[in-house]
Amino acid sequence: MKEDLAIGVDIGGGSVKAGLFNRQGKELDKSVLKTNSELSNARFLEIIENTISPLLHDNQILGIGIGSPGPLDSETGHLLSSANLPLLKNVPISKTIQNHFSLPVYYENDANCAALGEFHFGESDSYDSVLVLTLGTGVGGGFVEKGRLFSGYKGNGIEIGHMTSVIGGAICGCGQKGCIESYFSTKGFINRYTEKTGVQLNNAEEFFNLVRSGDSEAKTILDFGILCLAETVRSAIHLLNPEGVVFVGGITESWDLFGTDLTNQIRSKIFPVLNERLKIRVGKNLAGSLGAASLVFSKGKRGSNE
C-alpha cells in the first residue's frame, strides 16, 4: 500500500518553498523558487506551479496546502494583496492551482498553517486546544481546538498581532495604534529602538545582541514588550481558554532572553482554573511548508477550503 502524502507550499517574502510530506511530517522532497517585487499575477502563479511540479512523483498525493501572509480570502482562495509583491492583486491561487494539478487545494494564512502544523507535528496533538503565536517580522496567531483550525471569517481569525496592547500607543503597520505587533516583533523592536535612540537596526538579531551586551535602551524596550505581550496573551487566554500556548517564529531564537519572564507574567495574570491546566512553551519552528501540508492532512478528502 502506498502512503498518504501531501504537498505544502510556503509563500514567503522572497521565495516560494514547497515540500512533499508523509503523515509523519517527514519531508521526502522539496523545491524552492525565488520571487521578486516585479511579479504580475500570472507570473506569480506560474512560479507557484513550477515550484510544485517537481514534487509530483507517482505517489498518493492527497492534496496541496498553501500558506501565505494575508490579507487573503480563504473562502474563495484569493490572495488579496501582498506587502512584498506589490503588483499582485486578488490572485486566484486555489482555483488556478487546483485546475492545473487536478488536486484539492487548501489555502490559509501562514499563522493559521503554523498553528495546525504545531498541533499535528509539534508535540501539541495531545492538547484539547492550542493557541500558537508566530513572533517574527510581525505577530500572527492561530488556534486549533479538538483538531479543528479556527479559521475565522475568510481566514482572518486569531489576528493576535492586531489586538490593542497600549491604547493610543505606537503606530502599527495596519494604520492603527498600540497593536502588540508594535511592541513585540522585529518591526516593533526596530521601530521602538529608533524612536528612543535614532539608531536604525537591521534585524531582530541586532536588537537582541544589544540586550545581551547590556544596552539599557534595548533592555527597557524588551521589558516593556514582555509586559505588553503577557497582557495580550492573558486577554486571549481569557477568551479562548487554550490548554497550550506555543510561541514560534524567528524571535523565539532569543527565548532565553525573555521566555521565563514572559511565562511567569502570563501565569501570574490569568484565572487560576486556567493556569492549572495551561502549558506554555516555545515551539519547534517547523517549516512553513509542513504547516501548509498539515492543512491537507487535517482536512482529509473533503473539498477545497471546506
Binding characters for a second copy, 248-277, by CB under 8 A (x = yes):
---------------------x-x-xx--x
Binding residues for a second copy, how many (CB under 8 A)?
A: 39
67 interacts with a second copy by CB under 8 A: no
Amino acid at 146: K
Q: Which of 12, 152, 173, 259 binds a second copy (CB under 8 A)?
A: 152
Nearer to a second copy, 1 or 273 (CB): 273
Residue 105's nearest CA partner among 96, 115, 113, 114 is 96
Nearest approach in angstroms of CB 131 to a second copy is 10
CA dist 256 to 253, 260, 262, Å?
8, 7, 11
What nine digits make up the cell of 271? 484565572
- Alpha-carbon distance of 82 to 89, in angstroms, equals 8
Q: How does DSSP assign 12-67, residue by residue? A: -SSEEEEEEEETT--EEEEEEEE--TT--HHHHHHHHHHHHGGG--SSEEEEEEEE
Are 51 and 58 a contacting pair, CB within 8 Å? no
Q: Which of residues 212-231 bind a second copy (CB under 8 A)?
A: 227-228, 231
Nearest approach in angstroms of CB 88 to a second copy is 17
295 interacts with a second copy by CB under 8 A: no
Q: Residue numbers of the site for a second copy (CB under 8 A)?
A: 71, 73, 128, 141, 143, 152-154, 156-160, 162-167, 174, 176, 178, 227-228, 231-232, 234-236, 238-241, 243, 269, 271, 273-274, 277
